[in-house]
Amino acid sequence: MRYTNLFIPTMRETPSGINAISHILMLKAGYVRQLAAGLFIFLPLGWRVLNKINIILKEEMERIGAQEISMPILHPAEIWQQTGRWYTIKEEMFRLKDRTGRDMCLGMTHEEIMTWIAAKEIKSYRQLPQIWYQIQTKLRDEARSRGGVLRTREFIMKDSYSFDADEAGLDKSYKMHAEAYHRIFSRCGLKYYQVESDPGIMGDLESHEFMAPTPAGEDDIVICDNCGYYANVEVAKSKLESPPIVNMEFKEVYTPKKKTVKEVSEFLGVDERYFIKSLLVITEKEPVLVLIRGDQELNEKKLARLIGDFYFASAEEALNLIGVEVGYIGPMNQKIKIIADNSIDKDLLYISGANKKNYHIQGINPREHFKAEWFDIRKVKENDKCIKCGNPIEIQKAIEVGNIFKLGTKYSVPLNAIFLDKDGKEKPIIMGSYGIGPARVAAAAIEQNYDKDGIIWPKSIAPFDIEIIPLNLSDKKTVKIAEELYEKVSEIYNSFADRHMEVLIDDREERPGVKFKDADLIGIPIQVIIGEKGLKDGKIEIKKRRTKESKMVPINRAVVEIVNFYYETF
Ligand code: ATP
Ligand code: MG
């Protein structure tokens, strides 16, 4: 394609007030423009990238036998009411009424509608298994739409859904999707991890996220490169050793004005690991006292999975409920429910609040002195020991680019998606749901691949494969060679991408400096530079965008050299 036929509004200035590199570069390089909060326009280059990703998505989905369909974005409320999500999802759902006053919503995802059609059409085990997918718009009134196209209010998603007769079938569909996702993200040139994750609003069964590590990520993931344990911090576990037992006489100790574990630990000269931290939280139903070892931190997501949404009690609420100031609360003699973290060792003696101002109690034994329900509600920290192999773990920031969920019968039961099994019995269909956001994949690819001059696309998702840059258009020879190369390279079959080479020629009447800057900014993998100086020796320059490695090659070998350079680069 010709540059003069393409709308590529590159910018020289870096837009201000924007944090994510991918956001800055997509704007600067003329890939996208922002319409309003969380709403983006994809310009020609941006749309080409999305389409490249979509082709990979389609190929890998069809490879596992998934069938493409298309569903409406506008949904009647009743179906969402039947599964209950009309009520449990709050402001994130766009809702509206049609002209007859009927409640409608804009699809945030399509479990409900997919299950609805399965309920209507699938009657027998003979029709199973099925995998249906679409690449289609979702709408979500996101609270934090930021980071450019990483989190928008309207975005395209590849969402697929599996329908099976039994658990073994679901296992197979789930595994096929995991394998397809590995191929998809590898083909898109991403560095990524498949991590254990919290199924959240999707269900309660097994789920994994595919995470692209980059400092721009909103999630923290635990990585053990020794054994391959990868998990979202929201669910990650680690090994924690107990300190040796220390004998303490069971008694109250005067700790004037010392409230935090750190303060009391320093005051008494006892290691923080011998403390029980008591946190008072309040749910819709009741107050709960949460206990955790003094040197550890609460993982709020883990706790919320156990007790539902909660908040930390204010000083006043604590005083009303327990009768003592925050800082002196302890687990003994409590009437409210207590949830304790497994980091507290039932065989050790601890110090905690005495439920009396300015006092703590030492020598508390969990078996003897209080009753609690025990769970893992601890936040994993960098350098903790891996739960599987015991090696130190690492924590990295990452972007969630895709996820896979086992839904089981969560949607098929309420929507009555029932089939007749081999044994003549009626059973609910066993489902799975699997999502990928192509725009997020593109942005994550930029976050992982850029330099000070601009984007460096992995070649599989670059908007073009090769950019030809004739420097001086008033030089006839330059133009002739450039046009010939444009023709010839465009005819070459690109066996890496399974199509012909896509070539961009910068046929603008611009200074070389402008062309070079734009070429580096938009990030096409291979640049072919045609200048009068080289032509005098019968040569042109070819250059890899990623490494800036370049060489002069004779004109008669140019096509071969360009293609080789392309295949060599990542
Ligand atoms: P997040 O935790 O980041 O909000 P999610 O768990 O809500 O993501 P899903 O609903 O499972 O994500 O969506 C599947 C995929 O769609 C995600 O992995 C991501 O690639 C993409 N996606 C989700 N929300 C957005 C958004 N607001 N903007 C762009 N892409 C998104
Ligand atoms: Mg979300």
CATH number of the domain bearing residue 346: 3.90.960.10
CB 543 within 8 A of CB 561: no
Shared-domain flag, residues 8 and 137: yes
Q: Is residue 508 part of a domain?
A: yes
Write phi, then psi, for 401 (nearest 5 degrees): -100, -20
Confirm whether 521 is domain-assigned: yes
H or E, element range at 134 = strand 130-139
pLDDT of residue 147: 87
Per residue in 121-164, pLDDT (tens digit) is 999 999 999 999 999 999 999 998 778 999 999 999 999 999 99
CA atoms within 13 Å, Cβ hemisphere of 417: 30
Q: Are residues 146 and 278 in the same domain?
A: no
Residues 11 and 130 reside in one and the same domain? yes
Does residue 211 belong to any structural domain of this protein?
no
Pairing of strands 337-341, 350-353: unpaired
CATH number, residue 470? 3.40.50.800
Residue with tokens 């090696």: 391
Please give the pLDDT value at position 190. Answer: 98
313 within some domain: yes
Residue 554: inside a domain: yes
Same domain (yes/no): 416, 552: no
Residue 200 Cα, ligand 2 centroid: separation in angstroms? 9
pLDDT at 202: 58
- Rounded to the nearest angstrom, the distance between the alpha carbon of 401 and the centre of ligand 1 is 7
- pLDDT, tens digit, 9 for 90 and up, residues 345-400: 999 999 999 999 999 999 999 999 999 999 999 999 998 999 999 999 999 999 99
pLDDT of residue 182 exceeding 90: yes
One domain, residues 470 and 419? no
Whole-number Å distance, alpha carbon 350 to ligand 2 midpoint, is: 40
What digits encode the pLDDT tens for the residues 449-473?
999 999 999 999 999 999 999 999 9
CA–centroid distance, residue 18 to ligand 2 (Å): 21
Q: In what order do the strands lie in the sheet with 74-76?
A: 74-76, 103-106, 95-97
157 and 34 within one domain: yes
pLDDT in tens, 284-327: 999 999 999 999 999 999 999 999 999 999 999 999 999 998 89
Confirm whether 507 is domain-assigned: yes
Q: What percent of the chain has pLDDT over 70?
A: 99
Which ligand number lies closest to the CA of residue 403? 1
The dihedral built from the CA positions of residue 534, 537, 542 and 547, taken in this order, carries a sign that is negative
CA pair distance 90, 530, nearest whole angstrom: 58
DSSP string of 365-381? Answer: -HHHH---EEE--BPP-
pLDDT beyond 70 at 416: yes
Mean predicted confidence (pLDDT) in 411-419: 98
* Per-residue confidence (pLDDT) for residue 476, from 0 to 100: 96
Atom 16 of ligand 1 has which residue's CA nearest to it? 437
pLDDT of residue 490: 98
325/440 same-domain check: no
Report the run of H or E that residue 514 belongs to, with start and end.
Answer: helix 512-522
Nearest CA owner, ligand 1 atom 18: 402
Note the ligand closest to the C-alpha atom of 156. 1
Distance 151 CA to ligand 2 centre (A): 8
Residue 58 lies in a domain: yes
Domain boundary, last residue among 375, 396, 418 = 375
Compute the distance from residue 9 Cα to the ligand 1 centre, in Å: 28
Edge-first strand order for the sheet with 550-554 is 503-505, 466-470, 526-530, 539-544, 550-554
Mean pLDDT across the chain, nearest whole number?
96
Last residue of a domain, one of 394, 420, 446: 446
Of 325, 351, 375, which one is at a domain's C-terminal end? Answer: 375
User: Ligand 1 atom 29: the closest Cα is on which residue?
Assistant: 151
Q: Are residues 102 and 178 in the same domain?
A: yes
H/E stretch holding 401 reads strand 394-408
Q: What is the pLDDT of residue 205?
A: 86
For the record, the structure tokens of 302 come out as 């883990």
pLDDT, residue 146, reads: 78
| DSSP H helical ranges for 269-336 | 300-307, 315-322
Q: Are residue 432 and residue 470 in the same domain, yes or no?
A: no
Q: Does position 111 have pLDDT exceeding 90, yes or no?
A: yes
Q: What is residue 203's predicted lDDT score, i.e. its pLDDT?
A: 59
Share of the chain above pLDDT 90, in %: 97
Ligand nearest to the CA of 142: 1
Q: If pLDDT is split at 50, 70 and 90, which confidence band does 110 have?
A: very high
pLDDT of residue 199: 74
Tens of pLDDT, residues 428-437: 999 999 999 9
Q: Over range 241-252, report the average pLDDT.
A: 94
Range 482-500 average pLDDT: 97
Find the 38 Cα to ligand 1 centroid distance in Å.
Answer: 13
Bridge partners (DSSP) listed for residue 469: 529
Q: Which atom of ligand 1 is nearest to the CA of 401?
A: 20
Q: How many structural domains is the chain composed of? A: 3
527 and 433 together in one domain: no
Give pLDDT, residue 145.
79
**CATH assignment of the domain containing 427:** 3.30.930.10
User: Rounded to a whole number, what is the largest CA-CA distance in the chain?
Assistant: 96
Domain with 69, as residue range(s), is: 3-187+410-446
User: For 440-452, what is each residue's pLDDT tens digit?
Assistant: 999 999 999 999 9
- Residue ranges around ligand 1 (CB below 6 Å): 109, 140, 142, 151-152, 155, 157, 400-403, 435-437, 439-440
- Per-residue pLDDT of 184-207, as tens digits, reads 999 999 999 999 998 776 556 899
Question: What pLDDT sits at residue 201?
Answer: 61
For the stretch 318-334, what's the b/e string if a residue is b when 16 or more beta carbons lie within 10 angstroms of its beta carbon? beebbebbbbbbbbeeb
State whether 275 and 328 are in the same domain: yes
Ligand nearest to the CA of 219: 1
**Cis (ω within 30 of 0) for the bond into 414?**
no
Do 40 and 157 reside in the same domain of the chain? Answer: yes
Instruction: For ligand 1, pick from 403, 404, 407 the residue to mutate: most ligand atoms within 8 Å of CB.
Output: 403
> What pLDDT, on the 0 to 100 scale, is given for residue 359?
96
- Does the pLDDT of residue 529 top 90, yes or no? yes
**Is 493 a domain residue?**
yes
Beta bridge partners of 222: 231, 395
- Average pLDDT of the segment spanning 257-273: 95
